[in-house]
Amino acid sequence: MRASRQVTLVFSLLLVACVAASVLLLRRLDQIRTGATLEEVLYISSPKALKKMSLGYDGLLADIYWTRAVQYFGGKHHDGAQKFDLLAPLLEITTTLDPQLLVAYEYGANFLAPQPPNGGGVPERAIELEEFGIRNNPNEWRLYYNEGFIRYMEVKDYAGAADAFARGARVPNAHPFLAVLAGRMAEHAGDRQMAGMMWSTTYQTTKDKTVRANAAAHLRALQVDEAVTNLEALTARYQQQTGRYPSSFSELQAAGMLRGTPVDPVGHTYKLMPDGRVEVRVPDDLPFIQKGTPPGYVAPVAPKFLPAD
């Protein structure tokens, strides 16, 4: 029995040592290979062939590629990357394997089309993705919406966008905004109201957390742009009336031009600058704003998404 106990002891210690060593080696291997598995996506020249090879387990494989796509984008976005080479192939493979995975098309519209660092910067491929989705799911209004969204936001193809929204509006159970957007495109293309309607639609109807947070950030930015434009109009009027720019909101209130103290969507008051401009206090909290930033301000490379409200 003594020999047996010796053997047990030796091999138990060896086992523990091996477990520890294997964990350490795994961490090192993961470091060496960051992204290597993902890069193999580039070698899959034919997603259709992959679908055939998956022998009917394409649903599961689609889920795996979808998870990889989410992690890929999330990781790169977090690091403020300028290139998202693998996002398009990942989404294309995901949707080839499972054409009904609607959330993948949503990602295409929201994160593949926009320019870096907010997206993959390939709107044409994103449009192709949506068209593929439409061919396979002709009764999903969301896909027409996605296509219209990309055409409007990134490609500035307002006629094409209107057409996509109109097609989508004809689908049963379509969101009522689609008809509205199609109808208004001719007059209001390019203005803030249209953008606001679209981002609201996205915000209200998406089920994905990341997409919603992105939409919320855009909506806040639109709010800021609107507010800053209005406030700067007020300060200009004040200057005309009194010969100088207001230095505080109470002066504007005293002049009867303003009721209450204007507050930006993240809860800070706006700043009145001596030259009549209006600025936000913490520009980093408000990505995507086009007005109200201090001169020379450079947005941080990784835009900060606050929780959607």
Query: Given the rule CB under 8 A, which residues bind another protein?
Result: 1, 3-4, 7-8, 11-12, 14-15, 18-19, 21-23, 25-26, 28-30, 32-33, 36-37, 40, 43-44, 64, 67-68, 71
Nearer to another protein, 90 or 221 (CB): 90
User: DSSP of 253-279, one letter per residue?
Assistant: HHTTS-SS--B-TTSPBPEE-TTS-EE
Q: Which structure tokens are listed for 183?
A: 């109808």
Nearer to another protein, 32 or 298 (CB): 32
Q: Give the phi and the psi of residue 35 in degrees, each rounded to 5.
A: 80, -5
Q: Taking the complex as a whole, how short is the minimal distance between the CB of residue 1 and another protein, in angstroms?
A: 7
Nearer to another protein, 7 or 263 (CB): 7
Q: Taking the complex as a whole, how short is the minimal distance between the CB of residue 121 and another protein, in angstroms?
A: 24
DSSP 8-state class, residue 306: P
Of 283, 253, 287, 258, nearest to 268 (Cα)? Answer: 283
Q: Taking the complex as a whole, how short is the minimal distance between the CB of residue 36 and another protein, in angstroms?
A: 8
Nearer to another protein, 11 or 297 (CB): 11
Q: Are 206 and 212 in contact (CB under 8 A)?
A: yes
How far is the first Cα of the chain from the last one, in angstroms, to the nearest whole number? 68
Q: Taking the complex as a whole, how short is the minimal distance between the CB of residue 303 and another protein, in angstroms?
A: 20
Measured CA distances, 67 to 72, 87, 165 (Å): 8, 12, 29
Q: Please, what sign has the CA dihedral across residues 208, 214, 219, 220?
A: positive
Does residue 221 sit in helix, strand or coil?
helix
Q: Taking the complex as a whole, how short is the minimal distance between the CB of residue 54 and another protein, in angstroms?
A: 13
Q: Taking the complex as a whole, how short is the minimal distance between the CB of residue 202 and another protein, in angstroms?
A: 23
Cα(102)–Cα(133) distance, rounded to whole angstroms? 8
Residue 279, strand partner residues? 271
Q: Taking the complex as a whole, how short is the minimal distance between the CB of residue 16 and another protein, in angstroms?
A: 9
Tokens 């990784």 belong to which residue?
A: 302
Measured CA distances, 169 to 28, 139, 173, 183, 277 (Å): 53, 10, 9, 10, 41
Nearer to another protein, 10 or 236 (CB): 10
Q: Taking the complex as a whole, how short is the minimal distance between the CB of residue 68 and another protein, in angstroms?
A: 7
